[in-house]
Amino acid sequence: MGSIQWDNLNPWLVVGVMAASTILMFVFYLLSSRPGQLEKKAGRDAYRRCARYRMIASFFELVVIGSYVLYSYNPLPLPIPETFPWSYTLSVVLALIIGIPFGYVMLRGVLDAGEESMVPKKNGKLFGGIYLKIRHPQAMGELPLWWSFSLLLNSPFLAIYSLVMIPLFFAMALYEEKDLEIRFGKKYTTYRENTGFIIPKRSS
């Protein structure tokens, strides 16, 4: 039984899997971000259900990342360069310049959110740490990493495709805020008024 030739796949299939997985990641993340709304119908089981949705969303995000790697070996025959018009060393340097600070912001958000980064809690509370400065550090940190990854894979197409992530990540953050307002009420609206979305607010 022969092994799969990862560098000889149909590029349209790779892009199709990438696009479908991006959509599914988005849909399941939205579903995972509504425990407060879902609780009105499903009771306390809403939180377990949303945790499962978050795991599924994370799975499809991994599939998207895998598709990025496969695409770098199986690019589409498009009228754009297959690689960036500069040395790969420069791409690595740019990827690190983007990846290190934003990777730290994302990691800080994950650590300060703790278990609730993946599993919403019925009796949870508003997060501290970096969340006292910005409301969505994980989104702010993760979004630029798609371009860092594209640079490491030396693919202009992937850098262009990553633009799709901008409206998706903003939509996910805004959708999540609606549910947080349901769960925490006035406490969250006050927090939102005094904290930046992805950039810290200047002190008045």
Longest CA pairwise span in the chain (Å): 68
Q: Is the pLDDT of residue 6 over 50?
A: yes
Contact criterion met (CB below 8 Å) for 98 and 145: yes
Q: How confident is the model over 103-116, as pLDDT tens digits?
A: 999 999 999 988 88
CA angle, 63 then 69 then 75, to 5°:
115
% of the chain with per-residue pLDDT over 70: 96
- Residue 22 is inside which H or E element, if any? helix 11-32
In degrees to the nearest 10, what's the CA dihedral of 92, 93, 97, 103? 30
**Mean pLDDT value across residues 187-204:** 84
**Mean pLDDT value across residues 61-80:** 95
Contact criterion met (CB below 8 Å) for 63 and 17: yes
Q: Which domains does the chain have, with CATH numbers?
A: 6-75+82-194 (1.20.120)
- The pTM of this model reads 0.90
Mean pLDDT (the chain, rounded): 91
204: confidence class by pLDDT, cuts 50, 70, 90: very low
Q: How confident is the model over 39-62, as pLDDT tens digits?
A: 888 787 899 999 999 999 999 999
Q: How confident is the model over 176-186, as pLDDT tens digits?
A: 999 999 888 89
